[in-house]
Structure 1
Amino acid sequence: MQGRVLIIAGSDSGGGAGIQADLKSCMALDAYAGTAITALTAQDTLGVHGVHPVPLDFIRQQIQLYLADIGADAIKTGMLADTPTIAAVCDALAAFGSGQPLVADPVMMAKGGHALLEAGAVDTLRRRLLPLAAVITPNAPEAELLAGRPVRSVEDMPGAAAAILALGVPAVLLKGGHLPGETVVDLLATRDGSERFESPRVESAHTHGTGCTLASAIAAGLAQRMSLRDAVIRGRAYVLAALRTAPGLGRGHGPLNHAVTVDPARIATLA
Protein backbone atom coordinates (compact mmCIF):
# COMPACT_ATOMS: atom_id res chain seq x y z
CA MET A 1 0.00 0.00 0.00
CA GLN A 2 1.38 3.36 -1.03
CA GLY A 3 0.12 6.93 -0.62
CA ARG A 4 -2.04 8.49 2.10
CA VAL A 5 -5.22 10.34 1.16
CA LEU A 6 -7.47 12.47 3.36
CA ILE A 7 -11.02 12.54 2.01
CA ILE A 8 -13.30 15.37 3.14
CA ALA A 9 -16.83 14.63 1.96
CA GLY A 10 -20.33 13.48 2.80
CA SER A 11 -21.41 9.94 3.62
CA ASP A 12 -23.68 7.98 1.27
CA SER A 13 -25.58 5.37 3.27
CA GLY A 14 -26.26 3.45 0.05
CA GLY A 15 -22.52 2.97 -0.44
CA GLY A 16 -22.34 3.99 -4.09
CA ALA A 17 -21.00 7.53 -3.82
CA GLY A 18 -19.56 9.91 -1.23
CA ILE A 19 -17.15 8.75 1.45
CA GLN A 20 -17.97 5.10 0.82
CA ALA A 21 -17.04 5.29 -2.87
CA ASP A 22 -13.98 7.37 -2.03
CA LEU A 23 -12.63 4.83 0.44
CA LYS A 24 -13.26 1.87 -1.87
CA SER A 25 -11.62 3.64 -4.81
CA CYS A 26 -8.45 4.48 -2.91
CA MET A 27 -8.16 0.98 -1.49
CA ALA A 28 -8.75 -0.58 -4.93
CA LEU A 29 -5.81 1.45 -6.25
CA ASP A 30 -3.57 0.48 -3.33
CA ALA A 31 -3.67 3.79 -1.45
CA TYR A 32 -4.60 4.37 2.19
CA ALA A 33 -7.51 6.72 2.92
CA GLY A 34 -8.87 8.38 6.01
CA THR A 35 -11.88 10.67 6.24
CA ALA A 36 -13.37 13.86 7.58
CA ILE A 37 -17.12 13.46 7.14
CA THR A 38 -19.00 16.70 6.40
CA ALA A 39 -22.58 15.40 6.22
CA LEU A 40 -24.60 12.23 6.70
CA THR A 41 -27.08 11.38 3.98
CA ALA A 42 -29.84 8.81 3.95
CA GLN A 43 -30.05 7.59 0.38
CA ASP A 44 -30.58 4.62 -1.86
CA THR A 45 -30.33 4.11 -5.61
CA LEU A 46 -33.57 6.06 -6.05
CA GLY A 47 -32.38 9.29 -4.46
CA VAL A 48 -31.41 11.25 -1.36
CA HIS A 49 -34.05 11.08 1.36
CA GLY A 50 -32.38 13.00 4.16
CA VAL A 51 -29.28 15.06 4.97
CA HIS A 52 -27.82 15.65 8.43
CA PRO A 53 -24.93 18.16 8.60
CA VAL A 54 -21.90 17.48 10.79
CA PRO A 55 -21.01 20.26 13.31
CA LEU A 56 -18.25 22.51 11.99
CA ASP A 57 -15.96 22.06 15.00
CA PHE A 58 -16.14 18.31 14.54
CA ILE A 59 -15.24 18.60 10.85
CA ARG A 60 -12.20 20.67 11.77
CA GLN A 61 -11.25 18.19 14.50
CA GLN A 62 -11.36 15.25 12.10
CA ILE A 63 -9.07 17.08 9.66
CA GLN A 64 -6.65 18.16 12.36
CA LEU A 65 -6.31 14.74 13.98
CA TYR A 66 -5.79 12.87 10.72
CA LEU A 67 -3.17 15.27 9.39
CA ALA A 68 -1.33 15.51 12.70
CA ASP A 69 -1.08 11.75 13.20
CA ILE A 70 -1.27 9.72 9.98
CA GLY A 71 -0.62 12.58 7.57
CA ALA A 72 -1.63 12.89 3.92
CA ASP A 73 0.13 12.84 0.57
CA ALA A 74 -3.01 14.15 -1.14
CA ILE A 75 -6.41 15.50 -0.12
CA LYS A 76 -9.76 15.09 -1.85
CA THR A 77 -12.90 17.12 -1.15
CA GLY A 78 -16.43 16.19 -2.17
CA MET A 79 -19.77 17.30 -0.73
CA LEU A 80 -19.30 20.47 1.34
CA ALA A 81 -22.99 21.48 1.37
CA ASP A 82 -22.91 25.16 2.35
CA THR A 83 -20.83 28.28 2.91
CA PRO A 84 -20.00 27.62 6.61
CA THR A 85 -18.78 24.11 5.78
CA ILE A 86 -16.62 25.32 2.89
CA ALA A 87 -15.12 28.01 5.11
CA ALA A 88 -14.46 25.56 7.95
CA VAL A 89 -12.71 23.10 5.64
CA CYS A 90 -10.60 25.78 3.97
CA ASP A 91 -9.62 27.26 7.35
CA ALA A 92 -8.68 23.82 8.66
CA LEU A 93 -6.56 23.02 5.62
CA ALA A 94 -4.83 26.39 5.89
CA ALA A 95 -4.09 25.76 9.58
CA PHE A 96 -3.15 22.08 9.51
CA GLY A 97 -2.26 21.22 5.92
CA SER A 98 1.26 21.06 4.55
CA GLY A 99 0.83 21.84 0.90
CA GLN A 100 -0.55 18.46 -0.20
CA PRO A 101 -2.16 18.44 -3.65
CA LEU A 102 -5.92 18.90 -3.32
CA VAL A 103 -8.38 17.28 -5.73
CA ALA A 104 -11.61 19.26 -5.42
CA ASP A 105 -14.76 17.58 -6.72
CA PRO A 106 -17.36 20.40 -6.64
CA VAL A 107 -20.31 18.18 -5.71
CA MET A 108 -23.51 20.15 -6.32
CA MET A 109 -26.22 17.61 -7.09
CA ALA A 110 -26.87 13.91 -6.50
CA LYS A 111 -27.46 11.55 -9.41
CA GLY A 112 -31.20 11.59 -8.66
CA GLY A 113 -31.40 15.40 -8.75
CA HIS A 114 -31.20 16.29 -5.04
CA ALA A 115 -29.18 19.48 -4.40
CA LEU A 116 -26.05 18.80 -2.32
CA LEU A 117 -24.74 22.38 -2.35
CA GLU A 118 -26.71 25.46 -1.40
CA ALA A 119 -27.09 27.82 -4.36
CA GLY A 120 -25.57 30.70 -2.43
CA ALA A 121 -22.43 28.68 -1.67
CA VAL A 122 -21.20 28.49 -5.28
CA ASP A 123 -19.45 31.83 -4.98
CA THR A 124 -17.77 30.72 -1.75
CA LEU A 125 -16.60 27.58 -3.52
CA ARG A 126 -15.07 29.74 -6.25
CA ARG A 127 -13.36 32.16 -3.86
CA ARG A 128 -12.21 29.87 -1.06
CA LEU A 129 -11.76 26.30 -2.31
CA LEU A 130 -10.66 26.59 -5.93
CA PRO A 131 -7.46 28.58 -5.23
CA LEU A 132 -6.37 25.77 -2.85
CA ALA A 133 -6.88 23.01 -5.40
CA ALA A 134 -4.30 21.32 -7.60
CA VAL A 135 -7.13 20.17 -9.86
CA ILE A 136 -10.90 20.53 -9.88
CA THR A 137 -13.15 17.87 -11.46
CA PRO A 138 -16.55 19.36 -12.42
CA ASN A 139 -19.10 17.68 -14.65
CA ALA A 140 -20.79 19.79 -17.32
CA PRO A 141 -23.62 21.20 -15.11
CA GLU A 142 -21.12 22.05 -12.34
CA ALA A 143 -18.78 23.66 -14.86
CA GLU A 144 -21.65 25.83 -16.12
CA LEU A 145 -22.22 27.24 -12.64
CA LEU A 146 -18.53 27.76 -11.91
CA ALA A 147 -17.68 29.26 -15.29
CA GLY A 148 -20.89 31.25 -15.71
CA ARG A 149 -21.35 30.01 -19.27
CA PRO A 150 -23.21 27.10 -20.91
CA VAL A 151 -21.59 23.71 -21.41
CA ARG A 152 -24.00 21.90 -23.72
CA SER A 153 -21.54 20.26 -26.12
CA VAL A 154 -17.91 19.20 -26.42
CA GLU A 155 -17.27 22.44 -28.30
CA ASP A 156 -18.26 24.42 -25.19
CA MET A 157 -15.73 22.69 -22.95
CA PRO A 158 -12.52 24.63 -23.75
CA GLY A 159 -14.10 28.01 -23.07
CA ALA A 160 -15.61 26.85 -19.79
CA ALA A 161 -12.33 25.28 -18.72
CA ALA A 162 -10.49 28.52 -19.47
CA ALA A 163 -13.00 30.48 -17.38
CA ILE A 164 -12.50 28.10 -14.46
CA LEU A 165 -8.71 28.32 -14.75
CA ALA A 166 -9.09 32.09 -14.52
CA LEU A 167 -10.60 31.62 -11.04
CA GLY A 168 -7.18 30.58 -9.75
CA VAL A 169 -7.12 26.80 -10.04
CA PRO A 170 -4.07 25.45 -11.93
CA ALA A 171 -5.87 22.53 -13.59
CA VAL A 172 -9.42 21.45 -14.39
CA LEU A 173 -10.68 18.08 -15.55
CA LEU A 174 -14.01 18.93 -17.18
CA LYS A 175 -16.01 15.71 -17.46
CA GLY A 176 -18.30 15.20 -20.43
CA GLY A 177 -20.43 12.32 -19.22
CA HIS A 178 -23.55 14.51 -19.07
CA LEU A 179 -23.16 15.61 -22.68
CA PRO A 180 -24.85 13.77 -25.58
CA GLY A 181 -23.04 11.35 -27.84
CA GLU A 182 -21.76 7.80 -28.03
CA THR A 183 -18.28 8.93 -26.95
CA VAL A 184 -17.53 10.49 -23.57
CA VAL A 185 -14.97 13.28 -23.81
CA ASP A 186 -13.14 14.63 -20.77
CA LEU A 187 -10.93 17.70 -21.08
CA LEU A 188 -7.87 18.17 -18.89
CA ALA A 189 -6.90 21.84 -19.07
CA THR A 190 -3.95 23.54 -17.39
CA ARG A 191 -2.26 26.88 -17.84
CA ASP A 192 0.14 25.14 -20.25
CA GLY A 193 -2.52 23.71 -22.55
CA SER A 194 -5.21 21.06 -22.74
CA GLU A 195 -5.71 17.42 -23.69
CA ARG A 196 -8.83 15.45 -24.57
CA PHE A 197 -9.47 11.93 -23.30
CA GLU A 198 -12.15 9.85 -25.00
CA SER A 199 -13.88 6.58 -24.19
CA PRO A 200 -17.00 4.80 -25.47
CA ARG A 201 -20.13 5.56 -23.48
CA VAL A 202 -21.29 2.69 -21.29
CA GLU A 203 -25.08 2.56 -21.56
CA SER A 204 -26.12 1.70 -18.03
CA ALA A 205 -28.37 2.86 -15.21
CA HIS A 206 -25.61 1.90 -12.78
CA THR A 207 -23.57 5.08 -12.82
CA HIS A 208 -24.02 6.31 -9.24
CA GLY A 209 -20.78 7.66 -7.80
CA THR A 210 -18.76 8.01 -11.00
CA GLY A 211 -17.64 11.55 -10.11
CA CYS A 212 -16.61 10.68 -6.55
CA THR A 213 -14.84 7.57 -7.78
CA LEU A 214 -12.83 9.36 -10.46
CA ALA A 215 -11.77 12.23 -8.18
CA SER A 216 -10.64 9.81 -5.47
CA ALA A 217 -8.78 7.68 -8.01
CA ILE A 218 -6.93 10.80 -9.15
CA ALA A 219 -6.15 11.73 -5.54
CA ALA A 220 -4.77 8.24 -4.97
CA GLY A 221 -2.53 8.64 -8.00
CA LEU A 222 -1.23 12.01 -6.84
CA ALA A 223 -0.59 10.56 -3.38
CA GLN A 224 1.49 7.87 -5.10
CA ARG A 225 3.57 10.55 -6.83
CA MET A 226 2.02 10.03 -10.26
CA SER A 227 1.82 13.03 -12.57
CA LEU A 228 -1.61 14.58 -12.89
CA ARG A 229 -1.92 13.32 -16.48
CA ASP A 230 -1.02 9.76 -15.49
CA ALA A 231 -3.36 9.87 -12.48
CA VAL A 232 -6.20 11.00 -14.76
CA ILE A 233 -5.48 8.26 -17.31
CA ARG A 234 -5.40 5.53 -14.66
CA GLY A 235 -8.45 6.97 -12.90
CA ARG A 236 -10.50 7.03 -16.10
CA ALA A 237 -9.50 3.44 -16.90
CA TYR A 238 -10.54 2.34 -13.41
CA VAL A 239 -13.93 4.07 -13.65
CA LEU A 240 -14.56 2.61 -17.10
CA ALA A 241 -13.81 -0.91 -15.85
CA ALA A 242 -15.97 -0.36 -12.75
CA LEU A 243 -18.85 0.81 -14.97
CA ARG A 244 -18.57 -2.15 -17.32
CA THR A 245 -18.65 -4.62 -14.43
CA ALA A 246 -21.26 -2.86 -12.24
CA PRO A 247 -23.11 -5.42 -10.08
CA GLY A 248 -26.60 -4.21 -11.04
CA LEU A 249 -27.77 -3.45 -7.51
CA GLY A 250 -30.88 -1.44 -6.62
CA ARG A 251 -33.94 -0.21 -8.47
CA GLY A 252 -32.51 3.12 -9.62
CA HIS A 253 -29.03 4.54 -10.25
CA GLY A 254 -26.94 1.65 -8.98
CA PRO A 255 -23.31 1.60 -7.82
CA LEU A 256 -20.16 0.74 -9.72
CA ASN A 257 -17.95 -2.27 -9.14
CA HIS A 258 -15.29 -0.61 -7.01
CA ALA A 259 -13.60 -3.98 -6.48
CA VAL A 260 -12.84 -4.39 -10.19
CA THR A 261 -9.09 -4.38 -9.53
CA VAL A 262 -9.34 -7.16 -6.94
CA ASP A 263 -8.38 -10.66 -8.12
CA PRO A 264 -9.94 -13.28 -5.81
CA ALA A 265 -7.83 -16.03 -7.37
CA ARG A 266 -4.65 -14.18 -6.46
CA ILE A 267 -5.94 -13.52 -2.94
CA ALA A 268 -6.59 -17.25 -2.52
CA THR A 269 -2.92 -17.98 -3.21
CA LEU A 270 -1.93 -15.66 -0.34
CA ALA A 271 -4.16 -17.34 2.25
Structure 2
Amino acid sequence: MPPIVPPYASQFKHLAMSFPSENVLHVELKRFWREYGTAFDRIADDPTVRVVVLSSALEKAFSAGVDLSDLHALPQHTDPGRRALLTRAHLLSFQNAIGAPARIPQPVIAAVHGVAFGLALDLLSVVDVRWAASDAAFSIKEVDVGLAADTGTLARVPKLVGNASLLGELALSARTFGAEEARSSLGFVSRVVQGSREEVVRAAIVEFAEVVARKSPVAVVGTKRFITHALDHSVEEALEYQATWAAFALQSKDLRESAAAAKRKQKISYDNLGESARNKAKL
Protein backbone atom coordinates (compact mmCIF):
# COMPACT_ATOMS: atom_id res chain seq x y z
CA MET A 1 0.00 0.00 0.00
CA PRO A 2 1.54 3.37 -1.03
CA PRO A 3 2.16 5.88 1.75
CA ILE A 4 -0.45 8.56 2.36
CA VAL A 5 0.94 11.99 1.51
CA PRO A 6 -0.55 15.43 2.15
CA PRO A 7 -1.88 17.18 -0.97
CA TYR A 8 0.75 19.93 -0.73
CA ALA A 9 3.72 17.53 -0.62
CA SER A 10 4.19 17.76 -4.39
CA GLN A 11 5.12 21.45 -4.01
CA PHE A 12 8.47 20.50 -2.47
CA LYS A 13 11.21 18.83 -4.50
CA HIS A 14 13.78 18.43 -1.73
CA LEU A 15 11.52 17.25 1.11
CA ALA A 16 9.51 14.04 1.35
CA MET A 17 6.28 14.00 3.38
CA SER A 18 4.04 11.14 4.39
CA PHE A 19 1.62 10.03 7.11
CA PRO A 20 2.98 6.85 8.73
CA SER A 21 -0.01 6.89 11.06
CA GLU A 22 -3.06 9.04 11.74
CA ASN A 23 -2.25 12.71 12.45
CA VAL A 24 1.53 12.03 12.42
CA LEU A 25 3.46 13.67 9.57
CA HIS A 26 6.94 12.40 8.70
CA VAL A 27 9.17 15.00 7.02
CA GLU A 28 12.40 13.68 5.46
CA LEU A 29 15.20 16.08 4.59
CA LYS A 30 17.33 16.14 1.46
CA ARG A 31 18.89 19.37 0.14
CA PHE A 32 16.38 21.72 1.45
CA TRP A 33 16.76 25.03 3.18
CA ARG A 34 15.00 27.21 0.63
CA GLU A 35 11.93 24.98 0.87
CA TYR A 36 12.26 24.19 4.55
CA GLY A 37 10.59 27.28 6.00
CA THR A 38 7.81 27.29 3.42
CA ALA A 39 7.10 23.61 4.07
CA PHE A 40 6.69 24.12 7.81
CA ASP A 41 4.54 27.20 7.29
CA ARG A 42 2.30 25.02 5.13
CA ILE A 43 2.23 22.26 7.74
CA ALA A 44 1.15 24.80 10.35
CA ASP A 45 -2.09 25.31 8.43
CA ASP A 46 -2.87 21.59 8.10
CA PRO A 47 -5.42 20.63 10.79
CA THR A 48 -4.82 16.92 10.16
CA VAL A 49 -1.22 17.18 11.42
CA ARG A 50 -0.88 16.92 15.19
CA VAL A 51 2.77 15.87 15.46
CA VAL A 52 5.74 16.12 13.07
CA VAL A 53 8.62 13.66 12.94
CA LEU A 54 11.69 15.20 11.31
CA SER A 55 14.41 12.94 9.91
CA SER A 56 16.87 12.72 7.03
CA ALA A 57 16.32 10.80 3.81
CA LEU A 58 20.08 10.19 3.62
CA GLU A 59 21.24 6.74 4.68
CA LYS A 60 24.49 7.72 6.40
CA ALA A 61 23.86 11.22 7.68
CA PHE A 62 21.29 13.60 9.09
CA SER A 63 23.20 16.56 7.60
CA ALA A 64 26.88 17.20 6.97
CA GLY A 65 26.27 20.95 7.24
CA VAL A 66 25.76 23.78 4.83
CA ASP A 67 27.21 23.39 1.34
CA LEU A 68 30.12 25.85 1.18
CA SER A 69 29.38 26.38 -2.50
CA ASP A 70 26.30 28.28 -1.33
CA LEU A 71 28.63 31.04 -0.16
CA HIS A 72 29.05 31.99 -3.81
CA ALA A 73 25.33 32.76 -3.85
CA LEU A 74 25.71 35.58 -1.33
CA PRO A 75 24.56 38.99 -2.60
CA GLN A 76 27.12 40.93 -4.61
CA HIS A 77 27.56 44.70 -4.83
CA THR A 78 30.50 46.97 -5.56
CA ASP A 79 29.78 49.08 -2.47
CA PRO A 80 30.79 47.31 0.79
CA GLY A 81 28.02 48.93 2.83
CA ARG A 82 25.28 47.91 0.44
CA ARG A 83 26.79 44.45 0.06
CA ALA A 84 26.75 44.06 3.86
CA LEU A 85 23.10 45.09 4.10
CA LEU A 86 22.11 42.70 1.33
CA THR A 87 24.10 39.89 2.96
CA ARG A 88 22.43 40.60 6.30
CA ALA A 89 19.00 40.32 4.70
CA HIS A 90 20.06 37.03 3.08
CA LEU A 91 21.25 35.64 6.44
CA LEU A 92 18.06 36.72 8.21
CA SER A 93 16.04 34.91 5.55
CA PHE A 94 18.13 31.79 6.17
CA GLN A 95 17.65 32.07 9.94
CA ASN A 96 13.91 32.52 9.47
CA ALA A 97 13.68 29.36 7.37
CA ILE A 98 15.68 27.26 9.83
CA GLY A 99 13.56 28.56 12.72
CA ALA A 100 10.26 27.53 11.12
CA PRO A 101 9.51 24.54 13.42
CA ALA A 102 9.33 26.91 16.39
CA ARG A 103 6.59 28.90 14.67
CA ILE A 104 4.16 26.05 14.07
CA PRO A 105 1.64 24.94 16.70
CA GLN A 106 2.39 21.24 16.32
CA PRO A 107 5.27 19.69 18.30
CA VAL A 108 8.24 18.49 16.24
CA ILE A 109 10.46 15.55 17.23
CA ALA A 110 13.75 15.07 15.41
CA ALA A 111 15.03 11.55 14.82
CA VAL A 112 18.78 11.94 14.24
CA HIS A 113 21.19 9.39 12.82
CA GLY A 114 24.70 9.37 11.40
CA VAL A 115 26.63 12.57 10.81
CA ALA A 116 24.96 15.69 12.21
CA PHE A 117 27.39 18.56 11.71
CA GLY A 118 27.09 22.34 11.55
CA LEU A 119 23.71 23.21 10.09
CA ALA A 120 22.26 20.05 11.62
CA LEU A 121 22.73 21.53 15.09
CA ASP A 122 20.96 24.70 13.95
CA LEU A 123 18.02 22.62 12.77
CA LEU A 124 17.94 20.50 15.90
CA SER A 125 18.08 23.44 18.27
CA VAL A 126 14.66 24.59 17.02
CA VAL A 127 12.61 21.40 17.44
CA ASP A 128 10.77 20.41 20.60
CA VAL A 129 12.20 16.91 21.19
CA ARG A 130 15.46 15.33 20.01
CA TRP A 131 16.09 11.58 19.87
CA ALA A 132 19.35 10.23 18.47
CA ALA A 133 20.38 6.88 17.07
CA SER A 134 23.41 5.37 18.78
CA ASP A 135 25.44 5.95 15.59
CA ALA A 136 24.81 9.72 15.62
CA ALA A 137 27.91 11.93 15.56
CA PHE A 138 27.52 15.65 16.28
CA SER A 139 29.82 18.62 15.73
CA ILE A 140 29.39 22.38 16.02
CA LYS A 141 31.64 22.59 13.00
CA GLU A 142 31.60 26.24 11.98
CA VAL A 143 34.93 27.33 13.55
CA ASP A 144 36.71 24.80 11.34
CA VAL A 145 35.60 26.71 8.25
CA GLY A 146 36.31 30.18 9.64
CA LEU A 147 32.84 30.98 10.95
CA ALA A 148 30.93 31.24 14.20
CA ALA A 149 27.63 29.35 14.23
CA ASP A 150 25.16 32.12 13.37
CA THR A 151 21.99 30.31 12.30
CA GLY A 152 20.63 29.17 15.65
CA THR A 153 22.99 26.86 17.52
CA LEU A 154 24.71 29.51 19.64
CA ALA A 155 21.48 31.47 20.09
CA ARG A 156 19.27 28.57 21.18
CA VAL A 157 21.40 25.73 22.57
CA PRO A 158 22.72 27.75 25.57
CA LYS A 159 19.09 28.00 26.72
CA LEU A 160 18.44 24.30 26.22
CA VAL A 161 21.37 22.59 27.92
CA GLY A 162 22.67 22.50 31.47
CA ASN A 163 26.40 22.40 30.80
CA ALA A 164 27.62 25.75 29.48
CA SER A 165 31.27 24.78 29.91
CA LEU A 166 30.88 21.69 27.74
CA LEU A 167 28.95 23.69 25.15
CA GLY A 168 31.80 26.20 25.00
CA GLU A 169 34.32 23.39 24.65
CA LEU A 170 32.40 21.80 21.79
CA ALA A 171 31.73 25.06 19.94
CA LEU A 172 35.30 26.34 20.23
CA SER A 173 37.04 23.08 19.35
CA ALA A 174 34.52 21.71 16.83
CA ARG A 175 35.32 18.24 18.12
CA THR A 176 32.91 15.44 17.29
CA PHE A 177 30.77 14.05 20.11
CA GLY A 178 28.49 11.06 20.17
CA ALA A 179 24.85 10.46 21.00
CA GLU A 180 25.49 9.40 24.59
CA GLU A 181 27.55 12.51 25.37
CA ALA A 182 24.87 14.64 23.73
CA ARG A 183 22.34 13.07 26.09
CA SER A 184 24.06 12.44 29.41
CA SER A 185 26.66 15.23 29.54
CA LEU A 186 25.22 18.03 27.41
CA GLY A 187 21.50 17.33 27.75
CA PHE A 188 20.86 18.16 24.09
CA VAL A 189 19.04 14.93 23.21
CA SER A 190 16.62 13.16 25.52
CA ARG A 191 16.90 9.59 24.28
CA VAL A 192 19.45 7.39 22.52
CA VAL A 193 18.00 4.59 20.40
CA GLN A 194 20.25 1.66 19.55
CA GLY A 195 20.77 1.40 15.79
CA SER A 196 20.68 3.92 12.99
CA ARG A 197 18.15 5.67 10.78
CA GLU A 198 15.45 2.99 10.63
CA GLU A 199 15.47 2.31 14.35
CA VAL A 200 15.37 5.90 15.57
CA VAL A 201 12.68 6.94 13.08
CA ARG A 202 10.50 3.98 14.05
CA ALA A 203 10.94 4.75 17.75
CA ALA A 204 10.14 8.44 17.27
CA ILE A 205 6.94 7.58 15.41
CA VAL A 206 5.66 4.71 17.54
CA GLU A 207 6.90 5.61 21.01
CA PHE A 208 6.40 9.37 20.88
CA ALA A 209 4.49 10.82 17.92
CA GLU A 210 1.62 8.32 17.94
CA VAL A 211 1.22 8.76 21.71
CA VAL A 212 1.06 12.56 21.46
CA ALA A 213 -1.27 12.44 18.44
CA ARG A 214 -3.89 10.67 20.55
CA LYS A 215 -3.98 13.44 23.14
CA SER A 216 -6.09 16.61 23.07
CA PRO A 217 -4.60 18.89 20.38
CA VAL A 218 -5.67 21.90 22.44
CA ALA A 219 -3.59 20.62 25.35
CA VAL A 220 -0.65 19.69 23.11
CA VAL A 221 -0.49 23.07 21.38
CA GLY A 222 -0.72 24.84 24.73
CA THR A 223 2.04 22.72 26.22
CA LYS A 224 4.40 23.47 23.33
CA ARG A 225 3.73 27.21 23.57
CA PHE A 226 4.13 27.27 27.35
CA ILE A 227 7.57 25.66 27.16
CA THR A 228 8.73 27.85 24.28
CA HIS A 229 7.48 31.04 25.92
CA ALA A 230 9.01 30.21 29.32
CA LEU A 231 12.50 29.86 27.80
CA ASP A 232 12.58 33.59 27.03
CA HIS A 233 10.47 35.08 29.83
CA SER A 234 10.39 35.39 33.60
CA VAL A 235 8.26 33.12 35.76
CA GLU A 236 5.78 35.95 36.32
CA GLU A 237 5.49 36.67 32.60
CA ALA A 238 5.09 32.98 31.83
CA LEU A 239 2.30 32.59 34.38
CA GLU A 240 0.44 35.60 32.99
CA TYR A 241 0.76 34.20 29.46
CA GLN A 242 -0.51 30.81 30.64
CA ALA A 243 -3.50 32.38 32.40
CA THR A 244 -4.45 34.20 29.20
CA TRP A 245 -4.17 30.98 27.20
CA ALA A 246 -6.12 28.99 29.78
CA ALA A 247 -8.97 31.51 29.65
CA PHE A 248 -10.01 30.02 26.32
CA ALA A 249 -8.50 26.53 26.69
CA LEU A 250 -10.61 25.84 29.79
CA GLN A 251 -13.70 26.34 27.62
CA SER A 252 -12.67 23.58 25.20
CA LYS A 253 -14.92 20.55 25.01
CA ASP A 254 -11.76 18.43 25.23
CA LEU A 255 -11.61 19.11 28.96
CA ARG A 256 -15.19 18.02 29.57
CA GLU A 257 -14.87 14.98 27.34
CA SER A 258 -11.60 13.94 28.99
CA ALA A 259 -13.15 14.12 32.43
CA ALA A 260 -16.19 12.11 31.34
CA ALA A 261 -14.05 9.48 29.63
CA ALA A 262 -11.80 9.14 32.68
CA LYS A 263 -14.83 8.65 34.91
CA ARG A 264 -16.12 5.91 32.61
CA LYS A 265 -12.59 4.50 32.14
CA GLN A 266 -12.94 4.83 28.39
CA LYS A 267 -10.58 5.99 25.67
CA ILE A 268 -11.39 9.18 23.80
CA SER A 269 -10.83 10.43 20.27
CA TYR A 270 -10.38 14.19 19.93
CA ASP A 271 -11.36 16.41 17.01
CA ASN A 272 -8.66 18.17 14.99
CA LEU A 273 -8.06 21.80 15.83
CA GLY A 274 -9.38 23.09 12.53
CA GLU A 275 -8.13 25.83 10.28
CA SER A 276 -7.78 28.34 13.14
CA ALA A 277 -5.05 26.33 14.91
CA ARG A 278 -2.23 28.63 13.79
CA ASN A 279 -3.99 31.77 15.00
CA LYS A 280 -4.67 30.23 18.41
CA ALA A 281 -1.03 29.24 18.72
CA LYS A 282 0.08 32.86 18.28
CA LEU A 283 -2.03 34.25 21.12
TM-score (norm 2): 0.38
Structure having the higher helix fraction is 2
Identify the structure with the greater strand proportion: 1
Q: Which of these two proteins has the greater Rg computed from alpha carbons?
A: 2
